[in-house]
Amino acid sequence: MAAQEKTFKVECVHCRKPFHVRFPLTRPEAEGKGEVVVTCLYCNHKVVITIPTMYIEPEALVRGLKSAPVGN
């Protein structure tokens, strides 16, 4: 069985051109939304988009975790 995927329409904040990105369903039980970074197909700038967390790889969520201070 093929993995479920969802296509999201994105408008680049730099060049204002629309493009599409597709993400596979990675965690069907996940709730809420999260941010991911995609690259514009036209100008190659990075664009932050918000998508449901069920389409975000678990490794990608490290950015939102708090960490302990280093070195004390």
Q: Give the model confidence (pLDDT) of 54-70 as tens digits.
A: 999 887 555 554 545 55
CA distances from 69 to 61, 66, 72 (A): 19, 10, 7
The residue type found at 34 is: G
Q: What is the pLDDT of residues 14-41, one digit of tens each?
A: 999 999 999 999 999 999 999 999 999 9
pLDDT for residue 7 is more than 90? yes
pLDDT band at 1 (very low <50, low <70, confident <90, very high): very low
Q: Full-prediction pTM beyond 0.85? A: no
Beta strand segments in the chain, E: 5-11, 18-24, 33-39, 46-52
Sequence-distant (6+) residues with CB within 8 A of 47 are 10, 12, 13, 14, 37, 38, 39, 40
